[in-house]
A and B are shown apart, each in its own frame.
Chain A
């Protein structure tokens, strides 16, 4: 079972060994409303923790998606190019966006666990 961690900007990362899949939380997807577009990074791109990783647009707004961890883009979920509405239907399962090769797992300390994130949502 992969461990799931969250950022304050509502990204999640599911860590399996040295890789992590990244997406946005159900809370974020709900807040954005109908998702119409997801901009994914190029495979091979390297990012630092909390840098812009991808972008997302809904009928209401355009937002950046930030990298929960530093790393290199191993894969992207390009099904979202044609069916971005998957983010609304399954934000924390099917609508993973990017798979990262994690460069420094010590950065996990800067993220929230599922329980901490649930508590964080109550404060919003």
Chain B
């Protein structure tokens, strides 16, 4: 019954805060503290702090081309400027997504790869197999990660760590001294709000958590709120919306695939590009407050066309929202759909992503 889970360094902090805990990706994680709706609102209005220590971090050091790293992902690593990061995929030979990840260019010859928790062990094995040289290490256990997200995140960070944080642009990062150790502060996140991801040695993460929570503009938020926040802005969740049998082209994420370079899975994607995809991602908005949920069926004019992969009640829109996959075809904005599961049936219309586009992300 009890799933074997790993605790992050902040586990006792979460328990002191009476968080509802649950297993996620092999880790014992906080789902909510005060409540998902309240934490979601705090993130959209103030600044929310998330324990993201469960995510995986790897370091590659060496020659990107000779070491084989340049061909591992769907994007070029060598063209990422130092101090910038890039989002993309690790694919299998069939073009299926083994993981979605971000690569941080730390130095001329050094990158950090940040991956999902549940997939980290497999990712590390797959990448290791594909490399031909260089030094590759898994630093997940030694690395703490906190995300601070929300329109007040910059003011909070400047109060805590000084003006140098204020000027970091979106998808750039700096390395700086925090609590006497070297930390990475990156203008990235998973909420659609202005925010930072902070990577710090694991033995300092409790101190950093306490420091940031002393600021009354900051409250902790759990993975429940994080899931609502990310879906409102249309971000995919690995394991729900994307997986090893879904390609970036099917998932509408072709923008993160660079066909001008080599990568594992390229042939399969080229073929899919020519022949067309068998399934495609669609987004829809429900006409009531009902939530579509994972595995609910999607119907068009009474015929099943696909199934829901993510759905929530959106506090920002005041209705249910969802994304799912449907048989290839035309799904114009405004097209009516029915979402069904057992006794539950809800009317919906196809819409564009993101559902919510008024966040402070790029401010």
Contacts and interface: CB of A to CB of B under 8 A. Distances in A.
B343 interface: yes
Nearest to A36: B313
B124 to A, nearest CB: 32
A52 interface: yes
Interface stretch (B9-17, B97-105, B286-294): B286-294
Interface string A5-45: 00000000000000000000000000001101101000000
A59 B288 CA distance: 14
B221 to A, nearest CB: 13
Given A37-B291, A59-B313, A52 B343 contact: yes
Interface stretch (B31-39, B157-165, B181-189): B31-39
Interface string A81-99: 0001100100000000000
Given A33-B32, A52-B343, A59 B37 contact: yes
A36 B289 contact: yes
B228 interface: yes
* Range for the number of chain A residues in contact with chain B: 10 to 19
B344 interface: yes
B224 interface: yes
Contacts of B32: 33
A62 B313 contact: no
A59 B35 CA distance: 10
A116 B320 CA distance: 38
Contacts, number: 44
Given A33-B32, A52-B343, A85 B37 contact: yes
A39 to B, nearest CB: 8
Q: Give the residue among A33, A34, A62 with the most B Cβ atoms within 10 A.
A: A34
A86 to B, nearest CB: 13
A60 interface: yes
Q: How large is the interface on B (under 10, 10 to 19, 20 to 34, 35 or more residues)?
A: 10 to 19
A36 B291 CA distance: 8
Given A60-B36, A60-B224, A85-B37, A37 B289 contact: yes
A37 B313 contact: yes
Contact of B228 (A37, A52, A59, A85): A59
B312 interface: yes
A57 interface: yes
B312 A59 contact: yes
A62 B291 contact: yes
15 contacts: A33-B20, A33-B35, A34-B37, A36-B291, A37-B288, A37-B290, A39-B290, A55-B344, A57-B290, A57-B313, A59-B36, A59-B312, A60-B31, A62-B291, A62-B344
Nearest to B225: A59
Contacts of A55: 343-344
